[in-house]
A and B are shown apart, each in its own frame.
Chain A
Amino acid sequence: MKDFRLFDIYDFLTDDDFIRWVQEPRKEDNEFWSSWLLQNPDKHLTIEEARRILQTLAPRKVTVDDLEKEIEVKKLLDTIGAQPVGRPEAPVLPISRHKKWWYAAAVLLIALAATISYLVLNRNATVGKFDYAYVTPSKQLVENVNSSANPVRLVLPDESIVELGAGSRIAYTNNFDSSQTRDVYLSGEATFTVTKNPAHPFRVFANEIVTKVLGTSFTVRSFTRDSIIQVIVRTGKVSVYSQENTSNAETGSPNQLGGIILTFNQELVYKKSNREFKKTLLQNPVVITRDTVDQKIMLYDDAPLEKVFAQLSKIYGVTIIYDDDLLNTCTVTADLRSEPFYRKLDLICKAIGADYEIIDGQVIIQSRGCGTNLN
């Protein structure tokens, strides 16, 4: 199939499908192009310009008066000696172009259906029933589009705050009260600070995944053009579900978080290609405790490792897993007061001769135990 994203204005101007849409718009073409534009908002200007040029190039069809044509047809039949047959049988449609297109469209549809089922069967859908462009038109929603280059701040009906990223759009019902859940639909990137209301879970539908929260602050990044969807949690807890495998009732149920749970400083990456969720830590975890005392205590002189990890874990809300039998003799001497999270982790590990890995959003410490030469 053609990839219109690679088209420049001259490609559009000479493309038969595009020309047909401008000259003889049909319902399915309008649907195709409006959803295509939704997915490729940067092409709006090109499309508009191409449309304008095409309108100049192609005037409406001129037809000869029917009566005049009838006279000519009769004259022809007289000349060849055939019996006049009056107006030739209906349906004499202006078929050549339209019909051909019909067939082409039908073939295309079948091909498209085949492609989609192929993709679905291969658990590899790129266009699907959860896409923003597919889901939103059927619902009565308020839509906000941020076509500027900077994030825009919006306040939702429940006072939740949305920081809508550049080139992103969000849609939601005008009245959250009328339903069990507070649902918003996102294409692009947005950071949410959700007002607490455990009875009405807040759900973000972003292509294949749903993120549910009871009240917290988090970011969802789901651009159609990207191969991944990200959910980043700053404070609180959210749960993320795949839309395919989860019922609406489950993600809509109040007071309950299921699916994959994300908490402070965690990030979830959903790979569209193999529908795989991966939980990880943020690149730069932030201190979650407001207690500045906690920060100051990270000056250690021969402190037990257990104590250091416990404090680190508390300050960043990150789970640290280690073998305490193996590491119970380890001590740490370091000034960790002003270092960022990963630098702290590096320094500790270096001190005890260990490595760490981030698995499933947790820190796993790998070590063969502490030697005698510690500092």
Chain B
Amino acid sequence: MSGTDLLKRLQRNDAEALASLMWLYYDDLHNYGARFTTDNALVKDCIQEIFMSLWQRRETADTILSPKFYFLRAIKNKILKSLHKNNHTAFPNNEYNFSYEMSIEQIIIERHVNEEKLQKLRKTLELLSKKQREIVYLKYYHHLDHTQIAELMNVTRQTVYNLLHETLHKLRGLLKAEFIAQ
């Protein structure tokens, strides 16, 4: 039973389908939500609200073409909105925190890298912009396509493409310098 099938059942007032949808997308929603805030309770509340509103608009559930994209967009909007409300901090010009650490552990296990080089690598990865991190995260963790990433981040597809390539280029140079030429 796919997410789209569940949405069709939801349209026929099937509350079980709603439960299944939540079960199905909970991990992804929670993971994305936690990138914007460390407040776990807030993330959970937002997820509850998203599914409640979905239940309320269940008659039009068939207009949702990609459930995963729909939920990811919903959690982002909801969290940024409530962060804005609670903390009275504005996010002008699409500015918000986004934390995402790349997994350098994998390489560390494979290759014997000393602590000094590791620190250097970590620092350089930290130099990536929040936008670059989010693109990498949406592409390689959630496997969204470029159009979906662009829409979710409120930028053009070309920007997604450019930032992605810039990031890959940077990362490649970094890994080369730190690990190949040691």
Where the two chains meet, the residues of A that have a C-beta atom closer than 8 Å to any C-beta of B are: 9-10, 13-14, 16, 19, 23, 49, 52-64, 69, 72-73, 75-77, 79-80, 82-83, 85, 87-89, 91-92, 94-97, 99
User: Which of B16, B48, B67, B104 lies in contact with A85, CB distance below 8 A?
Assistant: B16
Are A97's CB and B103's CB within 8 A? no
Are A92's CB and B171's CB within 8 A? no
Where the two chains meet, the residues of B that have a C-beta atom closer than 8 Å to any C-beta of A are: 1-3, 15-16, 18-20, 22-24, 26-27, 30-31, 44, 47-48, 51-52, 55, 67-68, 101-104, 106-107, 136, 139-141, 143, 164-165, 168-169, 171-172, 175-176, 179
Are B103's CB and A77's CB within 8 A? no
Are B22's CB and A56's CB within 8 A? no
User: Which of B3, B44, B175 lies in contact with A95, CB distance below 8 A?
Assistant: B3
Q: Report the separation of the CA atoms of residues A16 and B179 in the bound assembly, to the nearest whole angstrom.
A: 26
The contact sample of 6 A-B pairs, CB cut-off 8 A, is A61-B141, A63-B27, A72-B48, A76-B18, A92-B24, A95-B3
Are B143's CB and A16's CB within 8 A? yes
Given contacts A56-B106, A79-B52, 19 further A-B contacts (CB under 8 A): A10-B165, A14-B139, A49-B176, A54-B140, A55-B103, A56-B103, A56-B107, A56-B171, A57-B171, A58-B141, A60-B103, A63-B27, A64-B26, A69-B22, A69-B26, A73-B23, A76-B18, A80-B18, A80-B55
- Distance in Å from the Cβ of B164 to the closest Cβ of chain A? 7
Are A89's CB and B16's CB within 8 A? yes
Are A96's CB and B19's CB within 8 A? no
User: Which of B22, B164, B168 lies in contact with A73, CB distance below 8 A?
Assistant: B22
Q: Report the separation of the CA atoms of residues A97 and B27 in the bound assembly, to the nearest whole angstrom.
A: 14
- Distance in Å from the Cβ of B119 to the closest Cβ of chain A? 16
B175 contacts across to A, CB distance below 8 A:
49, 52-53, 56
Q: Report the separation of the CA atoms of residues A13 and B135 in the bound assembly, to the nearest whole angstrom.
A: 13
A95 contacts across to B, CB distance below 8 A:
1-3, 24
Are B51's CB and A89's CB within 8 A? no
A10 contacts across to B, CB distance below 8 A:
165, 168-169
Closest 8 pairs between A and B when the two form their complex, measured CB to CB: A82-B15, A59-B103, A58-B140, A88-B20, A88-B19, A57-B140, A55-B106, A63-B27
Nearest chain A residue, comparing its CB with the CB of B13? A82
Q: Report the separation of the CA atoms of residues A95 and B16 in the bound assembly, to the nearest whole angstrom.
A: 18
Are B1's CB and A92's CB within 8 A? yes
B168 contacts across to A, CB distance below 8 A:
10, 13-14, 53
User: Which of A16, A54, A72, A87 lies in contact with B44, CB distance below 8 A?
Assistant: A72
Knowing A49-B172, A56-B175, A58-B141, the reply to whether A94 touches B52 (Cβ < 8 A) is: no
Are A92's CB and B20's CB within 8 A? yes
Are A57's CB and B19's CB within 8 A? no
User: Which of B16, B143, B176 lies in contact with A88, CB distance below 8 A?
Assistant: B16
User: Which of A23, A49, A56, A64 lies in contact with B104, CB distance below 8 A?
Assistant: A56
Q: Report the separation of the CA atoms of residues A341 and B119 in the bound assembly, to the nearest whole angstrom.
A: 69
- Distance in Å from the Cβ of B108 to the closest Cβ of chain A? 10
Are A57's CB and B24's CB within 8 A? no
Are B2's CB and A53's CB within 8 A? no
Knowing A80-B15, A95-B24, the reply to whether A53 touches B140 (Cβ < 8 A) is: no
Q: Report the separation of the CA atoms of residues A77 and B101 in the bound assembly, to the nearest whole angstrom.
A: 35
Are A9's CB and B18's CB within 8 A? no
Q: Which interface residue of A10, A59, A94 has the most chain B CB atoms within 10 A?
A: A59
Are A72's CB and B22's CB within 8 A? yes
Knowing A55-B107, A59-B103, A76-B51, the reply to whether A14 touches B164 (Cβ < 8 A) is: yes
Nearest chain A residue, comparing its CB with the CB of B43? A64
A19 contacts across to B, CB distance below 8 A:
140, 143
Q: Report the separation of the CA atoms of residues A43 and B168 in the bound assembly, to the nearest whole angstrom.
A: 19
Nearest chain B residue, comparing its CB with the CB of A23? B140
- Distance in Å from the Cβ of B161 to the closest Cβ of chain A? 9
Nearest chain A residue, comparing its CB with the CB of B4? A96
A82 contacts across to B, CB distance below 8 A:
15, 18
Are B16's CB and A53's CB within 8 A? no
Are B23's CB and A99's CB within 8 A? no
User: Which of B20, B31, B164, B176 lies in contact with A62, CB distance below 8 A?
Assistant: B31
Are B30's CB and A58's CB within 8 A? no
B2 contacts across to A, CB distance below 8 A:
95-96, 99
Q: Report the separation of the CA atoms of residues A63 and B140 in the bound assembly, to the nearest whole angstrom.
A: 16
B176 contacts across to A, CB distance below 8 A:
49
- Distance in Å from the Cβ of B63 to the closest Cβ of chain A? 18
Nearest chain B residue, comparing its CB with the CB of A95? B2
Knowing A57-B102, A73-B22, A95-B2, the reply to whether A62 touches B143 (Cβ < 8 A) is: no
User: Which of B16, B102, B139, B143 lies in contact with A59, CB distance below 8 A?
Assistant: B102
Are B19's CB and A76's CB within 8 A? yes
Q: Report the separation of the CA atoms of residues A291 and B67 in the bound assembly, to the nearest whole angstrom.
A: 84
- Distance in Å from the Cβ of A309 to the closest Cβ of chain B? 63
A94 contacts across to B, CB distance below 8 A:
24, 27
- Distance in Å from the Cβ of A99 to the closest Cβ of chain B? 6
B20 contacts across to A, CB distance below 8 A:
88-89, 92
- Distance in Å from the Cβ of B54 to the closest Cβ of chain A? 10
Q: Report the separation of the CA atoms of residues A304 and B27 in the bound assembly, to the nearest whole angstrom.
A: 94
Are A62's CB and B18's CB within 8 A? no
